[in-house]
Each structure stands twice: as structure tokens, then as C-alpha cells.
Amino acid sequence: MVGTSEEQSVERTVNETIREFGALGPPSGLGMMLAGPTIIEHGTDEQKRQYLRRIVNGQDGWCQLFSEPGAGSDLASLQTRATPDGDEWVITGQKVWTSGGMVADVGMLLARTDPEATKHKGISYFAIDMHQPGIEVRPLREMTGHALFSEVFMDDARVADDACIGGLNNGWTVAKTTLANEREGLGSGGGGAGGGAVPGTVAGTLEKRVGDYVRSERRGGAGIPGLLGNTPKMLLDLAHEHGKAGDPHIRQGLARLYSMGEIGRFTVLRTKAAKAAGRGPGPEANTAKLSMSRMVRLTRDLGLAILGPAGMLAGEDAPLNGLIQELALFSPAPSIYGGTDEIQKNIIGERVLQLPREPNTDHDVPFKDLKVGTQASS
């Protein structure tokens, strides 16, 4: 956790030096980005002892079991049930768009524990073991050819009562902390879910030597996360290579992309300063997330403008091993995952600009009395 501006500067210098030398950084993934900060804020001392060390040293990989087929932007309408059974809860339901579900050891699970309460107040937040009977993870293949996401089916899976983080039926408050950290991490200038080796027992990196892993990463190419981490320089080099560095439209686009990146970096510093002062991520996280979506689309447009028809090529013979083509296919995703751009604008409008909330009639209605599919957006 960073505090003073001097500490923030040191953290940035360390991270930049790690990247510069190709050294292995801290474990990547949602444990570091989401679960850890959430447990620090809402977990008990015992939960901190149980989970945090295994997150930091990479022993456990985490996934986020929030979204459902009928509860995406309106997350509070989730249907997954948690039924008490002694000192355990029995979980039944389906989650979708679960990042890293295929390599996760533990899941951040939102489940409905009180259908008599209103939809926001009857939800609890659990840390659930992903390696148990009753949990099935199915990868979702994207048009990029990858499967970063999965759908997860839970049929009488179990989670202990002491794995409830933040208290019974207080899951919505806990989830807001997770979502704020997600938007901050995904936002422009944020660290994202990247870092060092993929953590956990499934990915197979725990058995590797550090040197072997770093060398394999260097051979493997940058990938989408690598491109997004240093886009202005990479695209500038590409423009020089293809004789487009003097094109005024390309130059203007590169300047805009660099400026957005710097604004995003300062926004992250503001957010960290707010954390150091005892305040959680605020509207800065939402604006950063929106800016990141714009930056990805601008990167796509610049890459395709520089390469022309060659931007449609994939494979080892394509420029940058087909990275620009992959980015073009990937570019719609950031405006959807981590909370859609439309949801970010709603939050900014209501909580920052103090505009009237969207009309709805379901905030005071017990969840069991709501008609499925007719809930208003939260």
C-alpha cells in the first residue's frame, strides 16, 4: 500500500525498472488487484492471515464470480443462491464472463443469502474454493482466438461460514470496494491485472525457476497487455518503420494518446493519495476506466492507420506478430468488462455531477417479489 507522494514515486520507479530489465514482477491476476485490497478493507484478522500471504506469494490464483447471464450491468439482480447448512452454505447458480476462472484456486463469490431483503441488501460475499465437486468451469472462446473468460456452474457447491467477507448480507458494500479497485486497476495509468507470473496451482508457474519464466516471457512476445503498457512509443516506432511518422494525423493521434496516458497516470496518483488519506477509490476510478476504453480504441485506429491492409494480418509473418490485428478484434471488450462505459457514465452523472438518478421502482421491494428480467439498472 502506498502513502506519501515520495512513496508513490519510489513505487513507480521500482515498477518501471522491473519492466525495463525484464525482471519478474509480483504475481499478476485478480488476487493482487481485487481480492487482496478487498480483504484488507473488509476481512477479519483471521481472513487476512488465511488469504493475503498466499495472494502475495502467488500460491493462490483468484477469479471474480460476479456477473450472471441475467445480471451484468444490473449486478444486484443476481440469482445465485446460498442456502445455510450448519456452518456451511450450499451454493447453486451460474456465473459468466469470469476472468481467469480456468486457472483459479479461489473465487470472489457474490450470492443471495436473503431473498426476503431488497436486492442490494440480501447479498453476501464469499471466498469459495474452486477445486471442489459441484463447480464446473467452461472456457468461453473469443473472436481473438483466446479464452480469457469462462462461465462457471455451481451445483450444491459448498463454502464455509467463516469465508464470508464483510459480514452476512453486507456483500453489496464489499463488492463496491472490489469494483472500485477493478476500475482503478483497469483504468488508464493503472497497473491492470498484469505483473509477473500467473499465480496459483493450476497455471503451472509455481514449479518454474524464475530465470526460466522470464526467458519464456521474453520469447513469447508482448501480447495485448504488453502493447497497452507502452503504446505511444511502440506505435511511434511502428510509424517510423512504415514511413508514417510525418503524417500529421498520425502525429496528432500519438500526441493525444500520450497525453491521455499521462492524465491517467496522474489520476492514479490522485487515487492512491486518497487511499493514503483513508478514502477508498472514488469517481477517479470511473473516469480512468472510461479513459482506458478510449485509449484502446485510439490505439487500434492508429495501428490500423499506420499498417494499412497489413493490419489485418495475423501470425508470425505479420507486423508485430499480428498484434495490431488482435488488438482490433479485442478493442470492443474494454468498453464492456469491468462495468460498461454506460454504467461508468451513470455513476459519474449521479455521484459526481449530482444529476437525478434514473427512475426505478425496485429499491424497496423484497428480491423474491421482483419479476425476473424487469429489474431496473442500478
Name every residue whose Cβ is closer than 8 Å to that of residue 166 and which is 6 or more positions away in sequence. Answer: 42, 43, 124, 125, 173, 174
DSSP letters of 181-250?
HHHHHHSTTS-TT-SSSPPSSSSS-TTS-HHHHHHHHHHH--HHHHHHHTHHHHHHHHHHHTT-TT-HHH
pLDDT tier at 223, thresholds 50, 70, 90: very low
- 53 touches 60 (CB < 8 A): no
Mean pLDDT, rounded, for 36-51: 96
Mean pLDDT, the chain, whole residue set: 84
Mean pLDDT, rounded, for 19-40: 83
Name every residue whose Cβ is closer than 8 Å to that of residue 167 and which is 6 or more positions away in sequence. Answer: 42, 124
Note the pLDDT of residue 15.
64
β-strand partners of 63: 107
Catalytic sites, residue numbers: 182
Encode 179-205: b = buried (16+ Cβ within 10 Å), e = exposed.
bbbbbbbbbbbbbebbbbbbbbbbbeb
**Helix (H) and strand (E) counts for the chain?**
12, 7
**Between these two residues, 51 and 226, which has the higher pLDDT value?**
51
226 pLDDT above the threshold of 60: no
Note the pLDDT of residue 376.
38
Angstrom distance (rounded) from CA 234 to CA 251:
13
**Between these two residues, 23 and 264, which has the higher pLDDT value?**
264
DSSP letters of 99-164?
TTGGG-SEEEEEEES-TTSBTTTSEEEEEEESSSTTEEEEEE--TTS---EEEEEEEEEEEEGGGB
Residue percentage of the chain with pLDDT more than 90: 48
Mean pLDDT, rounded, for 200-216: 76
Note the pLDDT of residue 17.
74
Mean pLDDT, rounded, for 83-90: 97
Note the pLDDT of residue 297.
93
220-352: CATH superfamily? Butyryl-CoA Dehydrogenase, subunit A, domain 3 (1.20.140.10)
Note the pLDDT of residue 273.
80
How does pLDDT run across 148-202, given as a tens digit for each residue?
899 999 999 999 999 999 999 999 999 999 988 887 766 555 444 445 678 999 9
- 196 touches 25 (CB < 8 A): yes
Stretch among 75-89, 100-114, 118-132, 315-329 having the lowest mean pLDDT: 315-329
**Between these two residues, 268 and 296, which has the higher pLDDT value?**
296
How does pLDDT run across 302-341, given as a tens digit for each residue?
999 999 999 999 888 899 888 899 889 989 988 888 778 8
Angstrom distance (rounded) from CA 287 to CA 267:
9
142 pLDDT above the threshold of 60: yes
Domains of the chain: which residue ranges?
5-186, 220-352
- 116 touches 366 (CB < 8 A): yes
**Between these two residues, 26 and 253, which has the higher pLDDT value?**
253
Which CATH number applies to 5-186: 3.40.50.700, 2.60.40.4070, 2.40.110.10, 1.10.10.10? Answer: 2.40.110.10
Angstrom distance (rounded) from CA 66 to CA 61:
16
